[in-house]
Amino acid sequence: MKTLMGVTLALLPISVWAASTEYQDIERGRYISVLGDCAACHTANEQQPLSGGVALETPFGTLVAPNITPDLETGLGRWRYEDFKAAMTEGVGKGGYHLYPAMPYPSYTLMHDEDIQDLWSYLQTITPVENAVEANQLPFPFSIRSVMRGWNWLNFDQQKFEPDPQQSDEINRGAYLVESLGHCGTCHTPRNFMGGEGSNKFTGATVDGWYAPNITPNTHVGIGGWSEDELVEYLKTGGNRYDFASSPMADEVRHSSQHWTDDDLYAVARYLLTGAGMESSDWDREPPEPLPEDDAQVRAGSHIYFDRCSGCHTPDGGGEDGIFPQLASNPLVNGDNTSSLIRVVLAGSRPVATDAKPTAPAMPSFAWNLDDNEIASVLTFVRNSWGNAAAAVSPEEVADMREELQGE
């Protein structure tokens, strides 16, 4: 039996019970919207929540997140619940047009019906905003929405979440949050040539020029060396001793995970760190041998590191807790994809500020005083020191990123 402030609802007048239940559903729906990170994509103007306008860069062109306020002309004001449920679980909007998977319906299809209903109830309470958005800005032929029929046939499996009876309730809750509402695979799982989620689940993928890193339990390139507390700290505060959230992940932390309950954060941590939803082939691999100290790039990079980097990250790569991340034995440093590392050295970075840590640290840009060879060398040194081991970074990779940044 539901209760309200300790009072059994069955003992209250029907009108009070209905109002209380409605309020609870709407508040629950608000939390569902936070878990689903709706604001990160649908809020371009913080003064007009969920009114759309955020540009989403995909390998096929630009999509713009639509207005999902209840505005009659430019939002969801003329939609019915059935229209909304079809969009969330089938990828089909009102009138039968097909959505693109930048709207993560391949993950949301797993949502419980109750969660979809409560989310819909909450969206009806948002202040309507008149904001017409041209969502589809893809070039031909991708602009033809009917091509999504073929994409869905090959890449989309409409199904509901089923808990694993071999796992605890907490890990099943984590699985639901990661696989469905949190749609972590949308960014962290490699894509096939059609833009569908491929194999090697959660092993990392490129998003908006940044690399969404490996979040498998691999201890060398994934998060297997993180404790549950460290993973929760990262999701709740935007940083831990290994990393601070930047760019796309900063948006996720700002709008979503910093506001999750501790129970939900720990459920996610336990699900990911146990590897319960992954094949061991996705993450269980041996680390390589580090490059030798007399390697030309390692030698050159060591001089640059002690001159330019050790003041913040310390000579032994240990960093400064809460200010500068630890580089030693850091899985993000060891990753196969170096685009984020190169980007941060070239352009600098200011990670997310959160309620728990309102003053975010910063990394300065070195594009102005380090050339491509120097940046490649210092990163190669870092990737092969203090317990790290990874392939060398080439000057060509740095040059490509420098050119990409100049075009942004």
**pLDDT interval class at 59 (50, 70, 90):** confident
- Collapsing DSSP states into helix, strand and coil, what is residue 196? coil
By CB neighbour count within 10 A (0-12 exposed, 13-18 middle, 19+ buried), where does 157 fall?
exposed
Q: What is the pLDDT of residue 35?
A: 97
7 has pLDDT over 50: no
Q: What is the DSSP code (8-state) at residue 258?
A: G
- pLDDT tens digit sequence for 356-395: 988 878 899 999 999 999 999 999 999 999 999 999 999 9
Residue 212: closest CA among 250, 181, 179, 180:
250
Q: Which two tokens stand for residue 139?
A: 């070039």
282 has pLDDT over 80: no
**pLDDT interval class at 280 (50, 70, 90):** low
Q: Give the list of residues 6+ apart from residue 157 with CB closer than 8 angstroms, or none.
A: 106, 109
- pLDDT tens digit sequence for 180-192: 999 999 999 998 8
3 has pLDDT over 70: no
Indicate the helix (H) or strand (E) that contains 395: helix 395-406
| pTM of the predicted structure, to 2 decimals | 0.89
Alpha-carbon distance of 49 to 255, in angstroms, equals 11
